[in-house]
């Protein structure tokens, strides 16, 4: 029997150690991990994205995620297969960040990225007449 809660917790712990080299916040706290699905057969499917489709270091980030997933799940009983799908739909935006990610970003850069993103969305919607 596969315990999904254990798998998700182990993944979260390890993925919080993988940082985007351009934005020193973990892929988990940036909200780049869209989901973790575990079926009854022990197949684990992780859906993730990147901050931009043309990210020049995308292969490096995905490799780091693969390594973290291996560390997290290599000794978990019942895990039979792990797949990581990199998707760009829906596109990433700052609203996907965790509270911890937002806090770290604000400490580093001096502003709340989600608040700024939302302001930008509201002003572009208003200027386009929607």
Q: Is the pLDDT of residue 106 over 70?
A: yes
In angstroms, the CA 103 to CA 43 distance is: 34
Tell me the backbone φ, ψ of residue 81, rounded to 5 degrees: -155, 145
Max Cα distance, the chain (Å)? 55
Does residue 60 contact residue 78 with C-beta atoms inside 8 Å? no
Does residue 116 contact residue 106 with C-beta atoms inside 8 Å? no
* 82-105 mean pLDDT: 95
Domains for the chain: give ranges and CATH numbers: 4-92 (3.30.300.130), 99-130 (no CATH)
pLDDT, position 14? 95
Helical (H) or strand (E) element with 100: helix 99-109
Lowest-pLDDT range of 13-17, 27-31, 52-56, 125-129: 125-129
Single pTM value for the model: 0.87
């Amino acid at each position: 029997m596969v315990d999904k809660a254990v798998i998700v917790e182990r993944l979260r712990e390890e993925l919080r150690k993988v940082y985007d080299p351009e934005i020193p916040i973990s892929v988990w706290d940036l909200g780049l991990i869209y989901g973790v699905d575990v079926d009854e057969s022990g197949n684990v499917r992780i859906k993730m994205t990147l901050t931009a489709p043309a990210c020049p270091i995308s292969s490096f980030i995905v490799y780091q995620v693969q390594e973290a997933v291996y560390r997290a799940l290599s000794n978990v009983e019942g895990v039979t297969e792990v797949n990581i799908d990199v998707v760009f739909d829906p596109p990433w935006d700052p609203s996907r960040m965790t509270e911890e990610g937002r806090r770290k970003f604000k400490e580093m850069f001096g502003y709340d990225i989600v608040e700024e993103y939302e302001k930008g969305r509201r002003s572009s919607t208003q200027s386009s007449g929607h």
